[in-house]
Amino acid sequence: MGKSINCIGIILVAFLFANCNKSESKIEYNSDILNHVSGDSVSAIQIESTIDFGTPASIDFINDSLMVILDTNIGENVAHIIDTRGKHICSFGKKGRGEGELLSPKNLTITENNDSIYLFDVMMNRMIGYSLTGLLNGESQSPKVVQYDINIIPDQEYRFMHIEAGSSGNILGFSADKNRIVSIKGEEIENIYSDYPPTDSDVETNRSIWNYTGGLYSISPDREKLVVATYIGGLFEIFDITNNHIVSKVIKGFYKPVYKYAEGAIPKCVIPNPENMITGFRTISAGYKDFIAVIDGPESSRINEILTFDYNGDLKNRKILKNAWCNVIGRNQKGDVFFFGWDKNLSNMHLYKVTQ
């Protein structure tokens, strides 16, 4: 892939605002739903990797046997492809301020047809793209740089905080803005979703609750379901996506958000309240029929539970890990669950595979 820089001067083609789907009903918080399904005790085997990881931020699967890890704390590259046995295949995404380099990588996303991997630099508001075939074949390539000009997007004040590859070449950009989700294809805006569930009467506070540390986002492999979850309060929202038209279907919450404000932040920014550290989702991963998640809760043992929710928002399964604590989770299409987590002594982080 030759190096190219696309500065997206976005053309507004269609606004498919989802305000008609706005939920005005009050969210009911119910932590009891986390316990109404009995837990199955499972173990996790440690995968000995040929590369030493620092603090991985995400696990995404290329296929059933290959995964790509975002980890900014090792070496000069931020993304690393390994197989499910831990063998290192390649690393890419050079740190730096130069052309095609990454200053503040936030997440990565794999396109629907598995031809490209994009790394998103939140500070530079741009994507750095690589040919997946080229990476796997060890080919030398210069990355494709896609720069977003948010000044072109109507009512867009702040940079994107996360991106996901949608269907048919679309990119979904997420922000703590009036424009919550922007669907972009090439240089055209196809959809802007502007609704936030009503967690607080103050608009800026409400947006911040849903976007603390960028929020958690996961799109299903068929690009038909999107899950957005919060770290503060344990809220989640499930969307249907049809032809890149986004519709909210389910909103639920475990704990009422408890927070304080970051001093001097504009707009308002909520942060956890150290006097009451009730928090929510730590990691999520969307599949075809359901999504899996790990939450932090008032009970410290929560991070050894892997929860499975269907797309009606109902808890269907609790797997309780006997020998590890889960931090970042991923699942391939066969249903194999892998995670980076700590041993029971909380001394070292390793890659694990869940076993029955």
Tens-digit pLDDT profile for residues 250-276: 999 988 888 999 999 888 899 988 777
State residue 348's pLDDT score. Answer: 77
Q: What global pTM score does this model have?
A: 0.92
State residue 22's pLDDT score. Answer: 54
Residue 177 per-residue DSSP state: S
- Ordered strands of the 126-131 beta sheet: 4-8, 144-148, 126-131, 116-121, 105-110
β 245-253/259-261 pair status: unpaired
State residue 72's pLDDT score. Answer: 86
Per-residue pLDDT tens over the stretch 91-150: 999 999 998 999 999 999 999 999 999 999 999 999 999 999 999 999 999 999 999 888
Share of the chain above pLDDT 90, in %: 64
> Tokens representing 68?
């790509």
Which ranges in the chain belong to alpha helices (H)? 132-136, 203-211
CA distance 112 to 305: 30
Question: Which CATH number is 4-355 given?
Answer: 2.120.10.30
Q: What is the mean pLDDT of the chain?
A: 88
Whether the link from the prior residue into 274 is cis, omega within 30° of 0, is: no
| First CA to last CA distance, the chain | 42
CA distance 196 to 109: 24
Domain range list for the chain:
4-355
Q: What is the mean pLDDT of residues 74-80?
A: 91
Q: Which residues fall within 8 angstroms of residue 315, CB to CB, at 6 or more apart?
A: 33, 34, 36, 37, 307, 308, 309
> Tokens representing 190?
């196809």
> How many other CB atoms sit within 10 Å of the CB of residue 51?
17
